[in-house]
Amino acid sequence: MAEKRRLISNWAFHLGECEGAEFMGFDDRAWRRVTVPHDWAVESPFDSKWASGTGYLPGGIGWYRKAFTLSESDVRGRVRITFFGVYKHAKVWINSNFLGNHAYGYTSFGWDITAFVRPGENVVAVRVEHNDVADSRWYTGSGIDRDVVLEISDTVCFRPWGVFPSTVRCDENSARIRIKWETFGADGALFTLRDGEKLLGTARGAGESGEALMDVSCPPLWSPGSPRMLTLTAEALSGGAVRDTVCVPFGIRTFNFDADTGFFLNGRNMKIKGVCVHHDAGCLGAAVPKKVWTARLKKFREAGCNALRTAHNPPDPDLLDACDELGLMVMDEAFDEWEGIKNKWWQGHNVYPPKHYGYGEDFPEWHEKDLRSMVLRDRCHPSIVLWSIGNEIDYPNDPYVTPLFREAMGNNDANKPLAERLYDPRKPDAGRLSTLARELTDIVHSLDDTRPVTSALSFPELSNLTGFADQLDLSGYNYREKFYDDDHRKYPGRVLLGSENSHDPAAWRAVEDRDFIAGQFLWTGVDFLGECRGWPVRISQAGMMDLAGFEKPLFYRRKALWTKERFVKLAVGTGKEWEERFLWQGEIGDVKTVSVYTGLPAAELFLNGASLGVRELKREDGCCLTWEVPYAPGTLTVRAEGLEDSLSTPGEAAAIEIKPDTLCPGPLGSVRTEVFLWDADGHPAADEVIICQTLGDLEILGIENGIPDDLTPYSENFRRTLQGRAVVYLRAGEEKGGAELHVRTASGMKACCRFILG
């Protein structure tokens, strides 16, 4: 069986150029030791000289070196190294031998290094170049920010991602599975499907590559409500002997999109209730442990979410694994730009002039390799139901233009100068997009014929005329609900989906009221670094959860719209966009907008026990009732059908509570730890700075509070709370035994949480 070794700890890291660092014998003892995945950008202070689009954090050049040991038997087989993500422009050497480079920061890549490795010590060296930080519209990170895996196998073995099971048909009584395989030198393959210890089916095929069919009786089906994951064991054969074995997690399910009736999973009609997510987690940057994704996904499910869009790049495989396990469907997206480089904001969102760096510089040479990498790596995930070849590639005048529209504006163009809105024949012609869309769609279909291909269109009124939309299996519309009815009539047989949508309840009603719209994806599920309005704000605040992973009021609006759960939730507006909070605080007499999120028919609001009236919920309210209330210290309470929720004016902190998630077992485990400040009455306390320290082999990865303009460097061990709470991310080392997290405030309160490592 192939052995996979994660190259995690004890990487030598140097920030900056370093001549000769590719040489195996280079002396790196003075370099810092880091754990991979690693993002060096979040280790630096925020600075306005960097780009607003990428969160005011730096890039640069970084070098990584890692020594590892192989045995005599290891090097007699086939040895391969795979990088699951390096941002960006990576160059890789093994034992002083140059393997090659890789441009895109989000796709996986690797090499067969059998010819270069030796028994004993081996050294891999990686140079990462990310000099132009204004190369993206969101935070990218810098460094080896996803796993690195060394795979040791027999010389006769399966090719990388060379086993591809898919469901031909299924129901509760039976299923037929198709398995494609590709090997190096095998003459056949044997496949076994199990549910735990229970054998479900077997299949066999002949040849170095091929297809086999497997029939399964009474199959356990994968769905959001019951994400049953099975194990397909594949054995590569040569002369009747098993030479290689791989295990592929697999879920049996079928789905289809219909132009008139929307989306079906396992024969059941349902609406896709999705959210878009970027790949960072605040203080962790782009190096996000799976446990953090799992915690986020569980909260999305609580809000009624059943799907995720990886905006706007291939994700960390850990995220897809978590979606498989928790039952969230996925739109897996490849690119944010093709040949044309979009405007990149560096002085604030839509502040001209922009800069023009980005993947468009690499697309001509790399797009086929990158698209193939995404599809081959991810196609076994049952959660994936859509491939997206691009996001808003057709954004008007950015950079593509058309004589069909003398003037055009997109959904984020409030400040665009007139010259940027007008047709200019010297700019790239939008007709080119149809040709590229056909090429990309064909690449995907050649690798996976089981899922449709889409693109998130920002300008469908043009893309329907140029033929861009005709090249897709499904048309995704970004913020274009107004075209749903007309385009359904104009283009019979075309499947329509809201690929990016606002939190406005009207955007959901446009889906709910139309059988032919398959669903929507909210912008966004969680706040993210970058796409900032301007210094000192470091994040986008469009999420229904904040950067620390706590629910915002938007979360409860969505929960009321997307679930039948009975609840009421209070929130108070601050007068600033996106800043409604669970906080009753202010100057006496100031009028506050108090919102109550609920799906219940009516609710009554009280201030300090006095009724402020009853509101009845109407459909046009979007599951939100509002009152205008002059501020007075005390307690707001809402009651509805025996349920209630309260907000109290915060008092000074009187206690600290530390609530850790479960620490991952073994070395290098991680844990998300929530810290709460409570006042003397047991309510969330007034905000203070918390200071964190550890004892034992326990490292603070970062502290996050979600405050948009908090520019405290992430490398510090202190941070202010928001609404009396913050998150501390910890990682265990390799030593066994006890460890402690100590949290204190400037006023002298202390608390401690103990962990057992190993």
509, containing H or E segment? helix 505-512
**Residue 411: per-residue pLDDT:** 83
pLDDT at residue 667, as a whole number: 66
| Residue 557 resides in a domain | no
How far from 34 is each of 13, 63, 277, 544, CA to CA, in Å? 7, 12, 27, 33
Ramachandran assignment for 549, one of left (phi > 0), alpha (psi -120 to 50 degrees), beta (any other): left
Closest listed residue to residue 370, CA positions, set 380, 386, 359: 359
Q: List CB contacts of 455: < 8 A, sequence separation 6 or more.
A: 388, 389, 390, 391, 393, 437, 468, 472, 475, 476
C-alpha neighbours within 13 Å on the C-beta side of residue 743: 29
> 507 and 365 in one domain?
yes
DSSP-derived 3-state class of residue 488:
helix
What does residue 324 show for φ and ψ, rounded to 5 degrees? -55, -50
670 plus 625 within the same structural domain = no
Residues 6+ apart with CB under 8 A from 457: 392, 394, 463, 468, 469, 475, 476, 477, 478, 480, 499
Coil/strand/helix, residue 11: strand
If asked whether residues 526 and 451 sit together in one domain, one would say: yes
Look up the CATH number of the domain holding residue 196: 2.60.40.10
Q: What is the mean pLDDT of each run of 10 residues along the chain (758 residues)?
A: 91 98 98 97 97 97 98 96 98 98 98 98 98 96 98 97 97 97 98 97 97 97 97 97 97 98 98 98 96 96 98 97 98 97 94 94 98 98 98 94 89 84 92 97 98 97 96 98 97 97 97 98 97 95 96 97 97 80 94 96 97 95 95 97 97 95 74 94 96 95 96 97 96 89 93 88
Residue 512 lies in a domain: yes
Q: Which of 582, 616, 648 represents a domain boundary (last residue)?
A: 648
From 206, 229, 250, the end of a domain falls on 250
Range of the domain at 623: 563-648
Report, in this order, helix, strand and coil percent for the chain, each rounded to 5. 15, 40, 45
Same domain, 182 and 134: no
- Identify whether residues 290 and 315 lie together within a single domain: yes
Beta strands in 434-567 (DSSP E): 453-457, 474-478, 496-501, 517-522, 528-529, 539-540
Query: Which pLDDT belongs to residue 617?
Result: 95
How many folded domains does the chain comprise? 5
Position 283 scores a pLDDT of 97
Domain assignment of residue 545, yes or no? no
In a domain, 618, yes or no: yes
Q: Is 718 a domain residue?
A: yes
Q: In terms of domains, do 592 and 470 share one?
A: no
Q: Do 507 and 470 sit in the same domain of this protein? A: yes
Tell me, yes or no, whether 435 and 531 share the same domain.
yes
**476 and 430, same structural domain?**
yes
**Per-residue confidence (pLDDT) for residue 577, from 0 to 100:** 64
In a domain, 598, yes or no: yes
- Asked if residue 633 and residue 520 are part of one domain, the reply reads no
Asked whether residue 242 falls in the same domain as residue 264, the answer is no
444 lies in a domain?
yes
Residue 517 lies in a domain: yes
Boundary residue ending a domain (597, 631, 648)? 648
Pull the structure tokens for residue 123: 């050294």
Indicate if 65 and 117 belong to the same structural domain: yes
Please classify residue 650 by burial: count the beta carbons closer than 10 Å to its beta carbon, then call 0-12 exposed, 13-18 middle and 19+ buried.
buried
